[in-house]
Structure 1
Amino acid sequence: MFEPFTTTGIGSMPHTEVLSACELILKYFDIPFWPQMPKYSVNEQMIAQFCEGFPGITFESDKVYIKKNDELITEWLSNYHDEMLSPVSEQFAIGLYSMQRLIKNEKLKLFKGQITGPVTFTLSLKDDEGKLIYFDETLRELSLMHLKAKVKWQIEFLKTFAENVIIFIDEPILQAVSTSAYISVEQSEAMRLIKEIVSFIKSFDVKVGIHCCGRTDWKEVLSLDIDILSFDAFSFFDFFKIYSDEISEFLSRSGYIAWGFIPTTDDLNALSDEEIIERAVRKTEEISKNLHLINKNSLLTPSCGMGSLDVSSSQRVCELLKKLKNRLVNE
């Protein structure tokens, strides 16, 4: 499906100059993606970006929440169907439209999009009483339907300039599910929500990845019908490798691991290029001793989005990713 150690990104970029972000992506990444630009606009933050069109959604300065209106909710639910499209406008995803304009009439072989996952979405967005909408069963289901309509529109949009599409479902909050922070969130329900959107996306002949930048129950995640598992391998490699049996089974089903070996945190400034690359090479060598398909079924990414970095640091991450790929391919 992919060449060994193919590179792609997670989503967010630190730029306020949109064209610069797009050009950097096209220059450095084997699989380009559209940039989410939280420093350009608050509308580009990972929850706000996919809220547009949600019944009762309210934007107040840098706050976004649901103003509950039962009539609006009932009307929306009665009109929903799996063919529904919910566009993401340029006001909420300028990087997506800028990338399309930059590519113009070309047809890329492969392109990556992304969407906030239903667990992170519902455990981050609140109603006007300050209650997380996950704990309202109606709003939880509505959120899943809403995200389906968003991702269906995105897939159709991306297919106008890409022959093949990958969608990453971003679920950073999975690392907190079943911890004391979200003790009342059942793992089985979180997995049900993700399974539903994975199945929906795959019905459009699209490859699906899940990205979680923390530590979570990888046994559960690896059992999902996903094509790619993306995680922060710089910080959580040792925890992840415990699941060697599950990883082996996932690889045998033609699954790919996207290793986030290049840090997007303060560790980036604390270490030299060579130290970062050597760490990644050692970890790859270690895990490939027992999991022989790893070298064939691996992608490379930054550890998470680059939105919190400065522009020069994001350039360094891109350069490091390219250096690491060259090193591993030529080992």
Structure 2
Amino acid sequence: MLGPFSTTGIGSMPHTEVLSACELILQHFDIPFWPQMPKYSFNEQMIPQFSEGLPGVVFDSDKVYIRKDEEIIVEWLSNYHDEMVSPMSESFAVGLYGMQKLIKDRLKIFKGQITGPVTFTLSLKDEDGKLVYFDETLRELCLMHLKAKVRWQIEFLRTFAEDIIIFLDEPILQAVGTSAYISVEQDEATRLIKELVSFIKSLNAKAGIHCCGRTDWKRVLALDIDILSFDAFSFFDFFKIYRDEIAEFLDRNGYIAWGFVPTTDDLNALRDEEIIEKSLIKIDEISKTLPLIRKNSLLTPSCGMGSLDIPNSERICRVLKELKSRMING
């Protein structure tokens, strides 16, 4: 299903023209994905986008929070079941519906994404400004809500694609265990992710996790995920330290999605050929001791492209295509 060095994206795109973003993705990526469009609407940012339908949620101008209405929350929790769905409307996921309009022939594979439960609960606040992660009831509410979002998204994507991949976007994982989140227990953060990953896989979809920072890769690689996506441009040297854990992950038919093409200022500091050469050297180095890498690898930008301008996003697409060609042909 996943060809060696197939290309895909993380999610966000810089466009404000919906179909332009969708067309670019369909033209350039082996595994298409739906574009999250934060410059198009506040609703497209990673926390608001998946807050729609959350019990007690309030959208107030340019902010979103939960109002702790105990009656509403208790009723929702008492009625929750794993068959529940929470739809994403076009006003919160315009790129998802744009893809549906453009795709005429059924695709073999498609990638969706959702904000992971750790990042979601450590970003969303209640009406008093407290992070919902630190309220046990709200934390569970959010996890169940994200499950309902996942089920709906997978069912929606299956209307035009055979096989589905869902990435959990977890940028805050890089800070868990540091002084910034000293009161966040690693085991609890892991449990939240495990539950959502297990739920995705129970729906016969592949589960991936994306973290664009330096995190505890030993812990992440031990999760029952199918794909690990990370910023390999910046953190390759730190990641490769976990050779034994990477080997075990590959032996379980896990895939590494290498974010070799930078989405930061480094993009403007380097020529295309420099980016490609640096990537080839890294793969050559790690594949000498882990030969499965040459089979079980995907290629991506280092993170989402939503903060870039359109020409640079187009450049990244071209570089990824060329990088894939060079990886395969040597």
Shorter-chain TM-score: what band? Answer: over 0.9
Distance in 1 between residues matched to 2:240 and 2:121, nearest whole Å: 29
- Using the TM superposition, give the Cα deviation of residue 275 of structure 1 relative to its aligned residue in structure 2, in angstroms: 0.8
Q: Which residue of 2 aligns with 1:99?
A: 99
Indicate whether 1:47 and 2:43 are aligned: no
Q: Give 1:315's aligned residue.
A: 314
**In 2: Cα distance, 1:61 partner to 1:310 partner:** 25
Offset of residue 111 of structure 1: 0.3
SS of 2:276's partner is helix
Mapping of residues 145-184 of structure 1, within 5 Å: 145-184=144-183
Post-superposition Cα deviations, 1:176-228, rounded to whole Å, max 9, x if no partner, equal: 00000000001000000000000001001111100000011111110111100
Mapped to 2, the partners of 1:247 and 1:164 lie a distance apart of 25
Q: Deviation string for 1:70-103 (max 9, x for gaps)?
A: 1111111111110001001000000000100100
Displacement after TM superposition at 1:309 (Å): 0.1
- Which blocks of at least 5 consecutive residues in structure 1 are unaligned? none
Structure 1 residue identity aligned to 2:58: T
Question: Aligned equivalents of 2:56 and 2:325: distance in 1?
Answer: 49
Letter in 1 for 2:248: E
What does the per-residue CA deviation read over 1:238-259, in whole Å, with 9 as the maximum and x for residues that have no partner?
0000000000000000000000
Counterpart of 1:256 in structure 2 is 255
The residue aligned with 1:233 is 232
Local SS of the residue matching 2:293: coil
Cα distance in 1 between the residues matched to 2:3 and 2:67: 47
Please give the alpha-carbon distance, in whole angstroms, between the structure 2 residues aligned to 1:204 and 1:133: 27
Unaligned runs of 5+ in 2: none
The 5 A counterparts of 1:121-140 are: 121-140=120-139
Where does residue 205 of structure 1 map in the other structure? 204
**Match in the other structure for 1:142:** 141
SS in 2 for 1:293: helix
Quote the residue 2:115 is aligned against: 116
CA distance in 1: counterparts of 2:280 and 2:62, whole angstroms: 41
What's the offset of the Cα at 1:61? Answer: 1.2
Q: Distance in 2 between matches of 1:224 and 1:12?
A: 25
Question: How many pairs align?
Answer: 330
Counterpart CA distance in 1 for 2:206 and 2:108 is 13
Quote the Cα distance in structure 2 between the aligned partners of 1:323 and 1:26. Answer: 16
Please tell me whether residue 297 in structure 1 is matched to residue 296 in structure 2: yes
With normalisation by structure 1, the TM-score equals 0.99
Match of 1:242 in 2: 241
The CA distance in 1 between the partners of 2:61 and 2:73, in whole Å, is 24
1:5-20 matched pairs, under 5 angstroms: 5-20=5-20
Q: Tell me the amino acid that sits aligned with residue 227 of structure 2.
A: I
Deviations 1:286-312 (A, max 9, x none): 111111100111000000000000001
Which stretch shifts more, 301-310 or 63-72? 63-72
Match of residue 62 from structure 1: 62
2 CA distance for matches of 1:71 and 1:39? 36
